[in-house]
Amino acid sequence: MRFENKIAIITGGADGIGKATSVKFALEGAVSVIWDLNTEKGEALASEINNNGGKALFMKVNTASFVEVEAATKSVVAQFGKIDILINNAGITRDATLKKMTPDQWQQVIDVNLTGVFNCTKCVSDFMVEKSYGRIINTSSVVALFGNFGQTNYVATKAGLIGMTKTLAKELGRKGVTVNAVAPGFIATEMVKKMPAEVLKTMEEKVPLKRLGLPEEIAAAYLFLASDDAAYINGTVLSVDGGITI
């Protein structure tokens, strides 16, 4: 129970890696505050966690909206008195080559993947600084390190998060708040597993471990960086990718 009495906000916490993270934090004693746009999945997950003896709360929040994030943050603090952990996990893709990518596809990804992280970190960090304690973890990607065909928008945001992480680590570290990032590789989320078998096989062959990662393995990295064991880790990017970036 490493996180007993800790309040952890997980954005995009209703599905995929976010769902695994919400469950793992609750199992470790935290209150998992699930921020997501999918009300059906979010409420179902919160009920599942609570029914299994954990603690969870679902809130419908569009992280791309500063107004919504600010209101949700104040609501969490009003209910629990603090926020200890922020997992900036929410993200979207709108893939296309540069030639075919529309300004709208570009902006949608920027709004959620980059501006959304700014919104959440801006609002939540103020309350962490008040308590002189906080753990902020941003979700980057291995594609931020080597690029990816047809993902100019997505890669730009994930690379931007690395720069943001390092800058915020310098600004907030002196105030008791660490900021780190996790860069997942190919992860077997439900969405990915629906890809054609030959595509999945090709992905697996690119990884030295010859398999896709599990959402729970990314969640475990989040838990480590949020734990007291990682108290002296600040401004780092942890690749959890089976060695694909070697």
Residues belonging to the active site:
154
Structure tokens that stand for 171 in this block: 């600004």
The closest alpha carbon to 26, from 183, 180, 223, belongs to 223
The answer to whether 154 touches 106, Cβ cutoff 8 Å, is no
- Give the DSSP letter string of 19-58: HHHHHHHHHTT-EEEEEES-HHHHHHHHHHHHHTT-EEEE
Please state at what angle helix 16-27 crosses helix 215-226, rounded to 10 degrees: 50
